[in-house]
Structures are given as C-alpha cells and as structure tokens.
Amino acid sequence: MNVSRHIFWTMMGFSMALCLSAQPSWGQQDAVVLSSDQIARIVGSPDRSAADRTNDLRRKPEQMLAFMGIRAGMVVLDVSAAGGYTTELLARSVGPTGRVFGQSQPRDANRPPIPPAQREGNSHPSAAPAPAAAPVGPSRASPVALIDRDTSLREAGIPAAPIIPISRPFADPLPAELASDRLDLVTLMFNYHDLGHLGVDRAAMNTAIFKTLKPGGIFVIADHAGRSGTGISEAGTLHRVEEAFLRNEVEAAGFKLLTEADFLRNPNDPRDKNTPDPPQPKDEFVLKFVKP
C-alpha cells in the first residue's frame, strides 16, 4: 500500500470513528456471552490465515475470548494492535453489530523508533515457527495491516465488526469524541512491558482507558511475567513485566481486579531469560480489570 492510500485509509478510520460517536448507543450490555461452541467456530473458521492459526498454538484464543466474556455487539479497543491478530478475532466475535478499534502509536518522521536493547525472544519455543506473513514494520504500518484484515473479512463475507484503525499516542489513545464512557472492552495483549522501554506515560494511558470505558467495562491485559521486584525494568531486555507492578499501576487509575486466568501460566519458567532455557513456554499472566 502506498503512502497516499495509507493516509487516506487512516483518515477514513478517524471519520468512521467520529460518525459512530454520534450514535446514541453502542454495545449490547444485555447480550449473552458467546458460548464455547460459538467461540470454537469463530477460531476454527477456515478462512483465517495460516499465520494466525499457528499463532493460536501459543495464544490459546478460545480460552482468551471466553475469559474476556465476549458478547455480540460489544464496542472494543485493542491497544497496540500491531498486525491485528487479536483485533481480527475480536471483530469476528462481536459481529457486525459491534465495533472494533485498533490503536497504534503514530510514527514521528523526525524521531526514529527506539529499538529495545534485545529483540523479543520466542515466548513458546516448543511451537512450530509461524508461516511467513507480511510483517508490521517500516514498510507496513499497523493501520495498513488492520485495513487489509478488514478488507479481507468484507471480501470473504464474514459477519464481523468493522475494524477501525486509530493512530494515536498510547497516553491518549482515543479522540475526545470517543474518550468518555463509550467502550465495553479494552484489550492490551503482550505489549504492556514495551511501554517501559518506549518511555510511555502509563499512568496517563491507564487513566484514559478508564475514562473511555462504560461503568462495568472491562480491561484485559496479558503479558510475559517478570521476577518479583523487577517492575518494568526488564522491558527491553527480557521483554517481561512484574505482574504485581502492572496490577498496581492499573489499579491506581481506578480499576479493580476482577479475576485472573492461568491458561498461559508456566510455573517452571524461571523468568530470568528472554527465551526460557531449556526451551519452554514463557510464564504469562492474564488479568481482567473492571471499571466500577
């Protein structure tokens, strides 16, 4: 996708978001949570890409979607959407009566990206390598990847929510028209730790996310577990964050921890390396917070 088309579709995403904000009600607060059979059919849809299916082996999307309590008609923000693996699953799950926004931080042409001290290691080294997929990088920004996914869903006739890319800073992830009591669910998958080496104002981000959720709205965070006392200091080296540290930061914004999941935990991981040695899945936590 060339630069002019990229800009066009990014602006279209903003326009769609602003138009949608005029609607009196989004989300279906009284809708029934999707059943395990419904989720299994969504994850097992034969039109999903080979790369996404391989990613499923380590991400366990059926358990994740069930843990989120996903419902048809929800309005969702996927923070740090990257290539859109989670964003697309959310769009398929909430269906055409819902809306899914995929946020990515805009690039500053005057400031090159800050790379981590080490590239992120394999969080599940026992899994087979993923098939080649178009990467998200200098030549293919996250909004472009999300538009490509949305287009593919439309062309395949999949009854999914529109995927609307939003390019805004982490500390201020939504425009004012969408930033207060508008969303049912916010997700942040395996990237909270990156906010450390990127120097993001996480307190401002968590406060903004708290504000954008409706009362009773849910914030789900998954990440690679760090050792006790390390906080977010190993964000750019081991690509981990201490669970208690993250929880304290999120709760400081007003959230309450509702529940946690263990389907990605690995107590045998010593949590002292980027890729565990001997090869094994990283210990990963999944936390569900609620806006009271």
Q: Looking at residue 125, which CATH number applies to its domain?
A: 3.40.50.150
pLDDT, tens only, 207-222: 999 999 999 999 999 9
Model pLDDT, residue 111: 65
Q: Considering the entire predicted model, what is its pTM? A: 0.88
- Average pLDDT taken over every residue of the chain: 87
The domain total for the chain is 1
Could you tell me whether strands 213-224 and 284-290 are parallel, antiparallel, or unpaired per DSSP bridges?
antiparallel
273: tokens are 């390396």
Model pLDDT, residue 113: 61
Over residues 254-272, the mean pLDDT reads 97
Residue 30 structural domain = 3-290
Residue 35: band (very low, low, confident or very high) from pLDDT cuts 50, 70, 90: very high
| Rounded CA Rg of the chain | 18
pLDDT, tens only, 174-196: 998 887 889 999 999 999 999 99
> Is residue 106 scored above 80 in pLDDT?
yes
